[in-house]
Amino acid sequence: MAISRRQFLKRGGLVGAGTLLGPGLFGNGLLRQAYAALEANNRYFVVIFLDGGNDGLNTVIPADDVAGLRTAYDAARNNINITPAELTNSLIGLDPISGTQLGIHPGFNVPNDYFDNGAGAGGLKALYDLGKVAVVQGCGYPEYSLSHEEARVIWQTGVPLGPSAGTGWIGRHLAAQYAGNQIPAVNINDSIVGEFRQTGTSVLAVRDLDRFTFPFDENYPSDVAAKSAAFSALAQAAVAGAQPAAFFLGNTGLATIDATAAYQELSSNYNQDRPTFRQLYADIGRSMSTDLREVARVIWGVENGVPNVNARFFQLGNGGYDTHSDQGGAERNGQHYDLHAELGAALKVFYDDLASMPGNVANRTTILVWSEFSRRVPQNQNGTDHGSQGPMFVIGGSVNGGVYGNHPNIEDSALDYEGNTEYTQSANSFRSTDFRDVYGTILKHWVSLPGGTVQGLLPLDNTVEAVGDPDHYWRTADFDLGFI
């Protein structure tokens, strides 16, 4: 979608308002681009959060023992392990350093009869076979936290060491390049998620597009226009003032009333135009599929030029990954199997939906899947406790599919006293993938930001410990894992 001159000027003007409140990172106006790169390239970016700590070791699994990983895996897990035979239909590439054949959990290869009417069959494995899934192994950060809250905040802010940023890693980009009530980002949630947090521009939190309507008193329909005008004027007045909280409330109010007007037709438009896909998401019938359908509805609106619907960034999440007990192995309907099937099927339908939209939206969309931590290498009785590094998925029509990063070293002797793999940047061993390298690759190659801007968005670790220990801390941003 080309940017009109009017929009361009509007942005240029409003960015000034953002300067007042934007984070100090963007004090240098030269770093700020005059247009938003995702819009210029007509692209979308979707972030999916697996809430609770997804067990990475039962997500990407060693299928042979060429380097001893399989032996170590079976030693650590005696009843939730996935056997090589069970991985036969979900093999992916080789681990880059050890050459071990890897497989993804069989739940990702969704059976035809798992959801109604075969919805999402083949799942994530089918997308992998299309070459559209990058499996990025061993993602983590130094001084890992085992607290759900702390770890989630670290991943959402992109700041593991030192004081928390208070703003999200995507939020800092939004605050720098958008302003006012433009609504560049939507999360399918009740409140604004950590990735998007900032106070420079508006982000929508929507749980259900069908209920996203502005509450006017329906007893007096003739007065609705006057109420609407007054509400907007009040919000405008707050935005014109200098008090930061009032400014943010005013912007949120404007964005909300505009969006309820603009977004209210998205659901019915989509249902009418794309009944087959609407039903496939319903056939899966899980929150991951219905939430992805809301994203598809907004994208369909953007693609069709619905006025004031411009969102390019999306976030959604799914809970249930905190599998301390009854995690299950490869058996159908096991807890972890079912989560993987839900995610895999929903992503398959979403991808197919986007790919069949005019202009192949799948080629213009990148999806990032993350979790706040992986789980303990040795299992407990029938589940797993909190752990450290795990895999991320990057999915999209423009993604170079394959395996990236190294499988963590899960030899018993390599684990720390908690039983977790340790983060290391030492090049000659099982070098970990810093999650900020994944973020950086996406910001640089997908959002198309210059390296210096990316560096500003993802500050290096400058704590005393980090400076003194270059092998173990993130000191040089690489930003090119090659998956886009």
Is residue 230 within the footprint of other proteins (CB under 8 A)? yes
Q: Is 226 in the site for other proteins (CB under 8 A)?
A: yes
- 212 binding other proteins? (CB under 8 A): yes
Neighbours of 244 (CB within 10 A): 11
Q: Contact between 464 and other proteins (CB under 8 A)?
A: no
The enclosing H or E element of 269 equals: helix 266-273
Residue 191 is a binding residue for other proteins (CB under 8 A):
yes
230 burial class (0-12, 13-18, 19+ CB within 10 angstroms)? exposed
Which residue from 30, 217, 428, 476 is in contact with other proteins, where contact means CB under 8 A?
Answer: 217
Query: Count of alpha carbons within 13 Å of 22, Cβ hemisphere only?
Result: 25
255 part of the interface to other proteins, by CB under 8 A = yes
Pick from 113, 116, 129, 223: which binds other proteins (CB under 8 A)? 223
Structure tokens at 246: 């009032």
Cβ–Cβ under 8 Å, residues 183 and 311 = yes
Q: Which of residues 260-289 bind other proteins (CB under 8 A)?
A: 260
Among 81, 199, 315, 425, the residue binding other proteins under the rule CB under 8 A is 199
Binding mask 144-173 for other proteins (x = CB under 8 A): ----xx-------------x----------
CB 99 within 8 A of CB 93: no
User: Does 2 help bind other proteins (rule: CB under 8 A)?
Assistant: no
Nearer to other proteins, 102 or 295 (CB): 295
Q: Are 277 and 349 in contact (CB under 8 A)?
A: yes
Among 4, 85, 219, 276, binds other proteins (CB under 8 A): 219
**From 30, 85, 242, 427, residue interacting with other proteins (rule: CB under 8 A):** 242
Looking at 74, 93, 214, 398, which residue binds other proteins (CB under 8 A)? 214
Map residues 4-23 to x or -, x wherever contact with other proteins holds by CB under 8 A. ----------------x---
In the numeric block, which tokens belong to residue 69? 């990983």
Cα dihedral 306, 309, 313, 316, rounded to 10, equals: -90
User: What amino acid is encoded at 190 in this protein?
Assistant: D
Q: Alpha-carbon distance 178 to 15, whole Å? A: 7
98 to 137: interface string for other proteins, x by CB under 8 A: ----------------------------------------
Rounded Cα distance, 417 and 225, in Å: 65
d(CA 182, CA 254): 10
Which residue stretch of 30-38, 245-253, 344-352, 438-446 sits at the interface with other proteins (rule: CB under 8 A)?
245-253
Which DSSP state fits 375? B
Q: Does 380 bind other proteins (CB under 8 A)?
A: no
Q: Cβ 483 to other proteins, closest distance in Å?
A: 32
Q: Are 456 and 25 in contact (CB under 8 A)?
A: yes
Told to check if 238 binds other proteins by CB under 8 A, we report yes
Q: Interface with other proteins includes 234 (CB under 8 A)?
A: yes
Q: Which of 49, 248, 351, 393 is close enough to bind other proteins by CB under 8 A?
A: 248
Stretch of residues binding other proteins (CB under 8 A), selected from 77-85, 134-142, 232-240, 337-345: 232-240
Report in angstroms the alpha-carbon separations of 66 from 180, 277, 380, 390. Answer: 56, 43, 26, 21
Cβ closer to other proteins: 334 or 387? 387
Q: Report whether 137 contacts 407 (CB < 8 A).
A: yes
Output Rg (C-alpha) for the chain, integer angstroms. Answer: 23
- Which pair of structure tokens corresponds to residue 8? 């361009």
Min dist CB 57 to other proteins, Å, is 22
DSSP letters spanning 408-423: P---GGGS-TTS-PPP
The b-or-e profile of 279-296 (16+ CB within 10 A means b, else e) is ebbebbebbbbbbbbbbb
Compute CA 168 distance to the chain's CA centroid, rounded to the nearest angstrom.
12
Q: With CB under 8 A as the contact rule, which of the stretches 105-113, 117-125, 187-195, 371-379 interacts with other proteins?
A: 187-195
User: Contacting other proteins (CB under 8 A), which of 203, 288, 298, 458?
Assistant: 203
Site residues, other proteins (CB under 8 A): 20, 148-149, 163, 189-192, 197, 199, 202-207, 212, 214-220, 222-223, 226-227, 229-231, 233-238, 240-246, 248-250, 252-253, 255-256, 259-260
